[in-house]
Amino acid sequence: MRIRPMLDGPGEGGAFPEAGDLADVEHLLTGRGVLVLSGAGLSTESGIPDYRGANGTLRRRAPMTYQEFVSSEEGRRRYWARSHVGWRSIARARPNAGHRAVEALRRSGHIDGVITQNVDGLHRAAGTDEAVELHGGLDRVLCLECRRISPRAELEHRLHALNGEFEEAGSRINPDGDVELPDELVRAFRIAPCQVCGGILKPDVVFFGENVPVPRVRRCFDLVDAARALLVLGSSLTVMSGLRFVRHAARSGKPVAILNQGATRGDAQATIRLSLPLGTALTSLADSLAVSLETSESTRQDG
């Protein structure tokens, strides 16, 4: 399965189909055995924008594709220059009330597992270490030649040594961790090869146009099969990588609840459909279920 950039969000200009209320979601969680599928909308309260909301960046630009990254040194230079500048904002982001509530509900047994489409690592930072990161994580770097995986902080120190105070030149952060930069700055940027084999370094994330690793997809389907219900948080389900799990759950007769500010491609499969601020809604659910929100937030490196 390949992820493609889709420039038009679902349901734009159409009526928003709401169904049920927060009490219905609470009832769903009371039954336990719930699997969470989260998207970019869960991280917006941490200062990371989404692609397809009212101010989403896909309305202005398409993200880097896998084909462009592997085939073009110019494309790689542009990606790493922008990503180097944007990384500090990603690394400094902290889990918000929504991430903390998800982890608290998982610890209490109301949520069985988490699949996230996000690459920001905020579920892990909130303590949900076993969350399946469907599209990988920006805090890791992969060599396309020797396949070595290394910490992003390690690469950031090398890029800083090569480019000095370049990171001060950036503008607004994008969901995939980069920023817009003038072409003249991008042309001057120096990229770093793998320290082991000299190969091409790529963030350990699934780019648009790239395949999600098959074992990871199978793991997600296994989680859906084992769950009693699916709760979607902050995802427009525009790309099939997430939507397929909603469709699979619905075909299996499992309840699907969607909390997202805006219409989604999965609305037809949802038994509960609400547009609510996620931090407030999830905190309210945890409070109603008498779940403690005290979580052991892990330390994130600024790199």
- Distance in angstroms (rounded) separating the CA atoms of residues 43 and 47: 7
Taking residue 168's Cβ as centre, other Cβ atoms within 10 Å add up to 8
Q: Which has the closest alpha carbon to 294: 128, 125, 109, 101?
A: 101
**Which amino acid makes up residue 231?**
L
- Distance in angstroms (rounded) separating the CA atoms of residues 41 and 20: 20
DSSP 8-state code for residue 139: E
Q: In this structure, are residues 155 and 200 in contact, taking their beta carbons and an 8 Å threshold?
A: no
Q: What angle do CA 105, 248, 41 make, to 5 degrees?
A: 50
Tokens representing 246 are: 């909603």
Residue 163, burial from CB neighbour count under 10 angstroms (0-12, 13-18, 19+): buried
**Could you confirm whether 135 is annotated as catalytic?**
yes
22: Cβ contacts below 8 Å, ≥ 6 apart: 274, 276, 281, 284, 285
Q: Which has the closest alpha carbon to 176: 257, 117, 216, 240?
A: 117
* Set 27, 123, 135, 160: catalytic member: 135
Residue 15, burial from CB neighbour count under 10 angstroms (0-12, 13-18, 19+): exposed
Q: Is 256 helix (H, G, I), strand (E, B) or coil?
A: strand
List the 34-38 sheet strands across, edge first.
132-133, 111-116, 34-38, 229-233, 256-259, 272-274
Active-site positions?
135
